[in-house]
Amino acid sequence: MNIALRDSTLPTPVEGEGYLSSLNAEQRAAVEHGEGAVAGPLLVIAGAGSGKTNTLAHRVAHLIVKGADPRRILLMTFSRRAASEMRSRVERIAARVLGDKAAALTEGLTWAGTFHAVGARLLRDYALEIGLDPAFTIHDREDSADLMNLVRHELGLSKTESRFPAKGTCLAIYSRVVNAQDELEPILAKSFPWCMGWAEELKQLFAAYVDAKQAQNVLDYDDLLLWWAQMCGEAAIAEHLGGRFDHILVDEYQDTNRLQASILLALKPDGAGLTVVGDDAQSIYSFRAAEVRNILDFPGHFAELARVVTLDRNYRSTDVILAAANAVIGEASERFTKNLWTERSSRDLPRLVTVRDEAEQANYVADQVLEAREEGVALKAQAVLFRAAHHSGPLEIELTRRNMPFVKFGGLKFLDAAHVKDVLAVLRFAENPKDRVAAFRVMQLIPGIGPSAAGHALEAMERALDPALGLQFFKAPARAEADWPGFVELYSGLRTKSSWPADLERVRLWYEPHLERIHEDAGTRRADLLQLEQIAAGYSSRERFLTDLTLDPPDATSDEAGPPHLDEDYLILSTIHSAKGQEWTKVFVLNAVDGCIPSDLAVGERDEIEEERRLLYVAMTRAKDSLHLITPQRFFVHGQAARGDRHVYASRTRFITEPMLERFAQTAWPPPSQGASGRSPQPNIRVDLKAKMRGMWR
């Protein structure tokens, strides 16, 4: 690549032999696309396990090796973890040619992150130009819903005669309108038909919500994209911004939405230097307004048609697993990707295992996992995947009972835990004194301070020239006398003598007595806060820490057992959504039944059903050597009196049709001769004991 903007301090690249030799012809074509000229737009359609991540990493490394300035490469991934993994891969690949110099070069790859995180950075950079206060803080979904609720109350919409949509629904509608770049009415008609009568009130609510955010100097998740897109609507800024990057590469393009596509097109209207990679068969985020059309329509957006490279050789799974996955996705209605092929042959057909109920499912998985470990497959090389976070409940109990370590991804996020949110709210309030949601949360931790006292304290801060002084002079209610001065002292310190990461420790020390008062399990929660301090040490400033953590929170909180150390072996439990981009030797998919996959929440629209099919496909294509889909026959009905025994009967997921069954080995577990997990087999008889009992008295 002939990029002339190289800094003289960067080492001169050296040509090396063979570092691309492990790639197949299509991968290589994608990596070398545009070499020797300014690269035109490139779309890489990459089937599951076809080396998409690998290819993208090689492309970035290759660009750097050929002289591109890493500081002028923008790389957008789906999560922060994916970005940092990509950076280390790039470094490893580049090191094969550049040796020790590779590290210095890839250090320069500072623009690697999620769309939202990159958006936040750019908005701070251009804040003055676009009339934004650069000290803005970012609201996560829960904070946004709280603010929406506040505004809803203020407008009297919470007291309407028929029930106005709840705060979460209002936020979901707002977010859908923003991300899909559509009008309110069609969105209501399509996705929220029961709210159609409220269109006018919703518009009024959203207008007031926007005012409130601006008055408080906060942005929500959607704003990061929306402001960015609006900022790009100004030709001069768009040109300046686009000119900062010679190459823009986007991974997982199938899960971007219209707003994200419009940003890319504004940055690179002619597509020069633009590479997007994705797989339409793995598009699973339409609930965030992801638009599978983005990828389907990409080639036609530019004067010069984008080059399309298709990767259809799968390196991950055996042929029998792939045949089953291909069969499932083969029934999809609209599709770009061709069927995948592989050279890895095996006779170990994927298994379709029928078990009696979820408890037996848990036993089956635990037994199988242990058996595989005996045969040398580490726990970490095995994963259990499920559609909804609560599906793994019975399995978690069984694993804990057997003392088998596991880590769960995709359930409660670290930052959703109340104690972590409390501590972060203190920091956010210090960063931005106008952030009312943070302020209310923090002040109400203090015994004796309720919403009205908190409101008065905020008013005092707003009136004062310096918010910290305003707080000092505010007279707190007598009930709060004991704890108020400590808080004021903390706040002033955080505002005037801030030091990072020491601020976080200061906040924890202040918070600990409250933690003990509020939560019984203060010990475990304190461990989370210490973990947060460790994370904080990796950030250069309070603002960077808050921004990154809000946008892409770490996954798990420590439960009673404590998180296993990284060098220990543990089983992976994950929602299918969180399993994106990963692979394991052995994969179990729980609850392969209708009502779970497809989820009973998604059985209305055809699009939703299609997305559920793709979810099953994503789950199946995570497996390298062994795949088990489990179908419990009956499910316990929740919400009944203690010891109730009501069940519903389930049937195999509709995505595995009769003709597909030959691609699976069908088994029942436990086999009839053996009995359930060592217990004697259930006798196959039916008696009506209730009638007998009644008969005793007649």
Ligand X SMILES: Nc1ncnc2c1ncn2[C@@H]1O[C@H](COP(=O)(O)OP(=O)(O)OP(=O)(O)O)[C@@H](O)[C@H]1O
Nearest in space to 44 (alpha carbons), one of 251, 301, 272? 251
Q: Does 316 bind ligand X (CB under 6 A)?
A: yes
152: Cβ contacts below 8 Å, ≥ 6 apart: 158, 164, 167, 170, 205
Ranked by CB distance to ligand X, the top (closest) residue is 51
Specify the residue, 253 or 491, whose C-beta has the smaller distance to ligand X. 253
Q: Does 581 bind ligand X (CB under 6 A)?
A: yes
Q: Among 13, 20, 26, 27, which residue interacts with ligand X (rule: CB under 6 A)?
A: 27
- Residue 568: CB atoms within 10 A of its CB come to 11
Nearest in space to 43 (alpha carbons), one of 314, 312, 295, 338? 295
Specify the residue, 617 or 655, whose C-beta has the smaller distance to ligand X. 617
Q: Among 1, 43, 46, 480, which residue interacts with ligand X (rule: CB under 6 A)?
A: 46
Nearest in space to 146 (alpha carbons), one of 444, 527, 353, 585? 444
Least distance (Å) between residue 47 CB and ligand X: 7
Q: Among 287, 302, 315, 336, which residue interacts with ligand X (rule: CB under 6 A)?
A: 315
Q: Does 22 bind ligand X (CB under 6 A)?
A: yes
Nearest in space to 174 (alpha carbons), one of 140, 209, 139? 209
Least distance (Å) between residue 338 CB and ligand X: 14
Least distance (Å) between residue 322 CB and ligand X: 11
Q: Does 337 bind ligand X (CB under 6 A)?
A: no
Q: Among 1, 13, 20, 23, which residue interacts with ligand X (rule: CB under 6 A)?
A: 23
The DSSP-derived string for 440-464 is HHHHTTSTT--HHHHHHHHHHHHHS
- Residue 41: CB atoms within 10 A of its CB come to 26
Q: Does 631 bind ligand X (CB under 6 A)?
A: no
Specify the residue, 60 or 424, whose C-beta has the smaller distance to ligand X. 60
Beta strands, E only, 512-622:
571-575, 584-589
The piece of 51-59, 103-111, 261-269, 649-657 that touches ligand X (CB under 6 A) is 51-59
Is 160 annotated in a binding site? The answer is: no
Q: Does 636 bind ligand X (CB under 6 A)?
A: no
Q: Does 24 bind ligand X (CB under 6 A)?
A: yes
Q: How far are the Cα atoms of 127, 156, 687 from residue 161, in angstroms, in the given order? A: 43, 11, 52
- Residue 689: CB atoms within 10 A of its CB come to 7
For the beta sheet containing 274-278, the strands, ordered from the edge strand earlier in sequence to the opposite edge, are 112-114, 73-77, 247-250, 274-278, 42-46, 307-311
| Alpha-carbon torsion angle 146, 152, 158, 162, nearest 10 | -120
Q: Among 34, 51, 119, 410, which residue interacts with ligand X (rule: CB under 6 A)?
A: 51
Nearest in space to 73 (alpha carbons), one of 104, 37, 108? 108
Specify the residue, 327 or 404, whose C-beta has the smaller distance to ligand X. 327
624 is written with which tokens? 């390298």
Beta strands, E only, 590-672:
623-636, 647-649, 665-668
Specify the residue, 317 or 363, whose C-beta has the smaller distance to ligand X. 317
Specify the residue, 279 or 610, whose C-beta has the smaller distance to ligand X. 279
The piece of 20-28, 90-98, 507-515, 565-573 that touches ligand X (CB under 6 A) is 20-28
Q: What are phi and psi of 650, to 5 degrees?
A: -115, 155
Per-residue binder mask for ligand X (CB under 6 A), 583-612, x = binder: x-----------------------------
Specify the residue, 54 or 318, whose C-beta has the smaller distance to ligand X. 54
Residues of this chain, 253-292, that bind ligand X according to CB under 6 A: 279, 282
Annotated binding-site ranges: 46-53
- Interaction site with ligand X (CB under 6 A): 22-24, 27, 46, 48-54, 279, 282, 315-316, 581, 583, 621
Annotated binding-site ranges for ATP: 46-53
